């Protein structure tokens, strides 16, 4: 087994620790050692890590990997009406994820269940890409948010049947549309959609199968429906208040705030081609959302970093903006890194294999130029990405170099 050693790094271990002048030693079986005093350790490849920061491989907590970030998300999803078209976009976007430091993504909805098939193609070595935690199609009510890449269910029995069907197809999680959303035409954003009973049926089936659930939920009633039903991860969670935060803490619910999704819509506005109904809905939500995020973080809610990539101007190769926004709203740099590494690994049930830099874990590593504690822009300067000990991406003097798939 060929070993790689990288020396003279700044190392963030994903547990909140930071160490200078550190080395990391690994091979394709996993991390062998990390820390100081390793410069004599035998390795076939030795890399000078001076000026670089190494963290556990970043996880995108919320993406739609087949969608590109065009001004009208719903229109793109409806235009790409063949499985081949969706798969082609997903394959290309997989490379964009790698070059922005992502070793893993949680896909929150693709047509034709493409994210499940993408995961299998990547795992089989047919395509290069990040580890994919796939929901396939979303579960929504008839005409509900995301119906254009969803399975429409009405009543607890239909919800249960669709949940079982997605589990049969190989979903790693079930994505629930609990309320209306910004990107869908013809509905209010914060109103409840799937009922408590429907959500509960989906959660039960997911938990019986040993997988987790994530719910698009905005607005008090919809979020409360999810929390009462035992949903594992609240997505967006716009207008979180003290009661909801307390319940999330009590139940250990994860929170993926997707701050940039709202931000881009408001920043770019109608002039950029974003449909007026989208801009209007997002404007109403933004202020309370940013306050709710800060309150939840300060209270100790477990935050997962995710951008909702695929929404307007929210590209697959930009994880850094979400990190910077989270920091601007009060989160420490160390906690930003934890929210993109250890916390998602815990939420996805893979924390025994990944999420931190420790011996025995997968050698999933993201290396950036500079130290984000001194310069947040360092998050944008991705230098190398290792997945399972393999160098899958490197930036060679500004040129993107990907591991060939042969
Ligand atoms: Zn989404």
| CATH number for the domain harbouring residue 204 | 3.20.20.140
**Which residue among 312, 328, 347 closes a domain?**
347
Q: Are 63 and 42 in contact (CB under 8 A)?
A: no
Report the DSSP pairing between strands 233-236 and 4-12.
unpaired
Q: Which residue has the tokens 């000990």?
A: 389
pLDDT tens figures, 106-128:
999 999 999 999 999 999 999 99
Q: Let me know whether 368 and 238 are in one domain.
A: no
371 pLDDT band, cuts 50/70/90, is: very high
Q: Are 307 and 271 in contact (CB under 8 A)?
A: no
Ligand 1 mean position, distance from CA 297 (Å): 21
pLDDT higher than threshold 90 for residue 184: no
Mean pLDDT calculated for residue range 318-347 = 97
369 pLDDT band, cuts 50/70/90, is: very high
Ligand 1 mean position, distance from CA 319 (Å): 15
Mean pLDDT calculated for residue range 62-68 = 96
Average pLDDT along the chain = 95
Ligand 1 mean position, distance from CA 201 (Å): 21
Distance (Å, rounded) from C-alpha 281 to C-alpha 271? 16
181 pLDDT band, cuts 50/70/90, is: confident
Ligand 1 mean position, distance from CA 308 (Å): 5
* Residue 121 to residues 21, 138, 161, 224, Cα–Cα distance (Å): 38, 21, 27, 37
234 pLDDT band, cuts 50/70/90, is: very high
Q: Let me know whether 266 and 244 are in one domain.
A: yes
Number of domains in the chain: 2
In this predicted structure, what is the pLDDT of residue 1?
79
Q: Let me know whether 170 and 241 are in one domain.
A: yes
Q: Let me know whether 278 and 373 are in one domain.
A: no
Ligand 1 mean position, distance from CA 25 (Å): 36
Q: Let me know whether 293 and 381 are in one domain.
A: no
Q: Let me know whether 72 and 172 are in one domain.
A: yes
Q: Let me know whether 29 and 157 are in one domain.
A: no
**Which residue among 328, 347, 366 closes a domain?**
347
In this predicted structure, what is the pLDDT of residue 70?
86
Q: Let me know whether 129 and 223 are in one domain.
A: yes
pTM score, whole prediction: 0.96
Range with lowest mean pLDDT among 131-135, 280-284, 368-372:
280-284
Ligand 1 mean position, distance from CA 63 (Å): 6
Domain containing 371 equals 4-57+354-402
Dihedrals φ, ψ of 103, to 5°?
-100, -20
pLDDT higher than threshold 90 for residue 286: no
Q: Let me know whether 134 and 13 are in one domain.
A: no
Ligand 1 mean position, distance from CA 258 (Å): 8
pLDDT higher than threshold 90 for residue 77: no
269 pLDDT band, cuts 50/70/90, is: confident
Ligand 1 mean position, distance from CA 292 (Å): 18
In this predicted structure, what is the pLDDT of residue 140?
97
Ligand 1 mean position, distance from CA 109 (Å): 7
Ligand 1 mean position, distance from CA 365 (Å): 26
**Which residue among 326, 347, 368 closes a domain?**
347
Ligand 1 mean position, distance from CA 310 (Å): 8
In this predicted structure, what is the pLDDT of residue 119?
98
Ligand 1 mean position, distance from CA 378 (Å): 26
Ligand 1 mean position, distance from CA 246 (Å): 24
In this predicted structure, what is the pLDDT of residue 96?
98
Ligand 1 mean position, distance from CA 331 (Å): 22
Q: Let me know whether 254 and 192 are in one domain.
A: yes
pLDDT tens figures, 334-365:
999 999 999 999 999 999 999 999 999 999 99
In this predicted structure, what is the pLDDT of residue 16?
86
Within 10 angstroms of residue 42's Cβ, the number of other Cβ atoms is 8
Q: Let me know whether 375 and 317 are in one domain.
A: no
Ligand 1 mean position, distance from CA 181 (Å): 9
pLDDT tens figures, 189-205:
788 999 999 999 999 99
Nearest Cα residue to 99 out of 387, 388, 389, 405:
387
Q: Let me know whether 158 and 271 are in one domain.
A: yes
CATH of the domain at 32: 2.30.40.10
Ligand 1 mean position, distance from CA 120 (Å): 22
């Amino acid at each position: 087994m060929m070993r790689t050693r990288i020396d003279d790094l700044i190392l963030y271990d994903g547990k909140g620790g930071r160490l200078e002048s550190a080395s990391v030693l690994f091979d394709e079986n996993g991390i062998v050692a990390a820390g100081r005093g390793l410069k004599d350790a035998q390795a076939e490849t030795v890399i000078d890590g001076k000026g670089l920061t190494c963290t556990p491989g970043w996880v995108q907590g919320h993406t739609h990997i087949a969608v590109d970030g065009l001004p009208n998300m719903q229109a793109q999803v409806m235009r790409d009406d063949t499985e081949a078209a969706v798969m082609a976009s997903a394959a290309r976007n997989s490379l964009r994820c790698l070059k922005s430091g992502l070793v893993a993504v949680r896909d929150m909805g693709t047509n034709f269940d493409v994210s499940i098939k993408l995961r299998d193609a990547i795992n089989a070595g047919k395509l290069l890409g990040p580890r994919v935690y796939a929901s396939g199609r979303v579960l929504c009510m008839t005409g509900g948010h995301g119906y254009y890449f969803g399975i429409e269910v009405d009543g607890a029995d239909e919800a249960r049947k669709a949940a079982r069907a997605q589990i049969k197809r190989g979903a790693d999680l079930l994505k629930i549309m609990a309320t209306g959303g910004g990107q869908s035409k013809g509905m209010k954003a914060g109103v409840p959609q799937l009922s408590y009973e429907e959500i509960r049926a989906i959660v039960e089936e997911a938990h019986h199968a040993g997988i987790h659930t994530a719910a698009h939920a905005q607005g008090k009633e919809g979020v409360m429906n999810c929390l009462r039903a035992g949903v594992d991860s609240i997505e967006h969670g716009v207008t979180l208040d003290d009661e909801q935060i307390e319940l999330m803490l009590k139940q250990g619910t994860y929170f993926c705030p997707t701050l940039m999704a709202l931000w881009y819509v408001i920043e770019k506005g109608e002039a950029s081609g974003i449909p007026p109904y989208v801009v209007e809905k997002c404007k109403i939500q933004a202020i309370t959302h940013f306050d709710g995020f800060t309150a939840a973080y300060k209270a100790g809610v477990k935050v997962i970093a995710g951008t909702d990539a695929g929404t307007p101007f929210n590209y697959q190769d930009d994880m850094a903006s979400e990190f910077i926004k989270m920091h601007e709203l009060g989160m420490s740099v160390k906690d930003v890194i934890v929210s993109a590494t250890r916390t998602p690994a815990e939420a996805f049930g893979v924390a025994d294999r990944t999420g931190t830099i420790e011996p025995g874990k997968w050698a999933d590593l993201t290396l950036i130029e500079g130290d984000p504690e001194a310069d947040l822009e360092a998050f944008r300067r991705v230098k190398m990405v290792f997945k399972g000990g393999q160098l899958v991406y490197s930036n060679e003097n500004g040129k993107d170099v990907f591991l060939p798939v042969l």
